[in-house]
Amino acid sequence: MTSLAVARNVLRRILRDGRTLALIVILPLFFVLIYGNSFSGSYSDLRIVVVNEDNGLASVRTAEVGRVTLTVDLASAFVAALDPNVFDIVILDDADEALEWVGNGVWAALVFPKSFSNAVVSEAVRASGERKTEFEGNTVTILPSEPVAGPLTKLVIDDSNPLVAGAILAAFDSAFAAVLETQQSSVTVDSLLDASRLYEGEIRMLDFTAPGIIGFAMTLITVMLTAMAVVRERTGGTLTRILIAPVSAWQVTLGYTLAFSLVALFQAAELFLVSLWLFDIRFIGDPGAVILVIVLFAIGLQGIATLISTLAKNEAQAMQFVLFMLIPSIMLSGVFWPLETMPGTMRAISYAIPLTYANAALRKIMLTGHGLGALSFELSVLGAIAFVTLFLSILSMRRQAYTA
């Protein structure tokens, strides 16, 4: 009976606490919705560049009318075979320019040589023997001919994200297969391609996820610590005592930021060193750039944590609000699953998560060795988040003293 009384009391107190009650109901729903929506499974908006120099013609020898030229347009057929929902295809004229774009917002570049159609058809006939085709209303027999020497189709792929690279290659394979099928060919794709990987396949799944996991660990610890500390300071009455002294809210906020930035930097150093030492994660970039990213990221996190502490009446609530923030952080920031696999609505949330930018910036530095110049977008967003949340947390700090 006593246990029942205890249980009744616990439940009654939960029911009294509107915010906790709301969190109990909403949190699981939130979790499932994000989970369900973020694994749509299919990719979209993968940007690739195609340079189509193929003249679309195939010159073949026939048994009936001698050498004729067929119009087959196989490179265009290949492009048409790519799913427009998956790929965002940019057509360029300049092959060198196209190859340069890879790794800078473009996942892959394909350069079809002038003789692409010709090469495919002649290879096909050579491999599978003579066959019939329609030519100017008549059926003609194409005869196998000498192999055509010519440049292969050039493919460069950004393999910094092994998942995306794998998905792109698979899609290309099936598009090529569809094209070759029209030519009844048993030719393999590989014999047509001069494929290269930007990072030579050196980036493992571990390397790819490491920056995000480190960022997530920082999010977890920094937000939790800061939110708890501020809530405790408020509920313990010491915040009132601080703010009634001749100090301003910005001085207090800055003090907090300074202290927790140091903690965050220490944590980050620990995370990086242990990851490097135990798992030899890829880190080819500038450590200074990493520190800059970490500091901006940490300030933003603290700002968010201070805002959370304003909403939370007590430490238990603060904890739940932190969870609210952490779930989308790990699932939607592209740590495990690329943003490109998420449906638009989920991706909109991704763009509101600081970890999305920290992860992208850290990957650029650690995996691909990009310098600060390539990080201007991520750094400006992280900087803006840091600035705005710091400003808001100063306001919230001031408010907290009055409501304490």
**Number of residues lying near another protein (CB under 8 A):** 14
16 touches another protein by CB under 8 A: no
CB of 389 to another protein, least distance (A): 24
Query: 92 or 404: whose CB is closer to another protein?
Result: 404
Q: Which stretch binds another protein (CB under 8 A): 234-242, 257-265, 312-320, 384-392?
A: 234-242
Of the ranges 100-108, 242-250, 274-282, 328-336, which one interacts with another protein (CB under 8 A)? 242-250
Q: Does 291 bind another protein (CB under 8 A)?
A: no
Q: Counting contacts by CB under 8 A, is residue 240 touching another protein?
A: yes
- Whichever of 242 and 323 has its CB closer to another protein, that residue is 242
Q: Is 258 in the site for another protein (CB under 8 A)?
A: no
Q: Is 248 in the site for another protein (CB under 8 A)?
A: yes
Residue 236 CB, shortest distance to another protein, in Å, is 7
Q: Under the criterion CB under 8 A, does residue 238 sit at the interface with another protein? A: yes
Q: In angstroms, what is the minimal distance from the CB of 266 to another protein?
A: 19
SS3 string of the chain?
CHHHHHHHHHHHHHHHCHHHHHHHHHHHHHHHHHHHHHCCCCCCCEEEEEEECCCCEEEEEECCCEEEEEECCHHHHHHHHCCCCCEEEEEECCHHHHHHHECCCECEEEEECCCHHHHHHHHHHHHHCCEEEEECCEEEEEECCCCCCCCCEEEEECCCCHHHHHHHHHHHHHHHHHHHHHCCCCCCHHHHEEEEECCCCCCCHHHHHHHHHHHHHHHHHHHHHHHHHHHHHHHCCHHHHHHHCCCCHHHHHHHHHHHHHHHHHHHHHHHHHHHHHHHCCCCCCCHHHHHHHHHHHHHHHHHHHHHHHHHCCCHHHHHHHHHHHHHHHHHHCCCCCCHHHCCHHHHHHHCCCHHHHHHHHHHHHHHHCCCHHHHHHHHHHHHHHHHHHHHHHHHHHHHHHHHC
Binding segment (CB under 8 A) for another protein, from list 31-39, 188-196, 238-246, 345-353: 238-246
Between 14 and 247, CB nearer to another protein:
247
Residue 263 in the binding site for another protein (CB under 8 A): no
CB of 249 to another protein, least distance (A): 10
Chain residues binding another protein by CB under 8 A are: 236-238, 240-242, 244-248, 401-402, 404
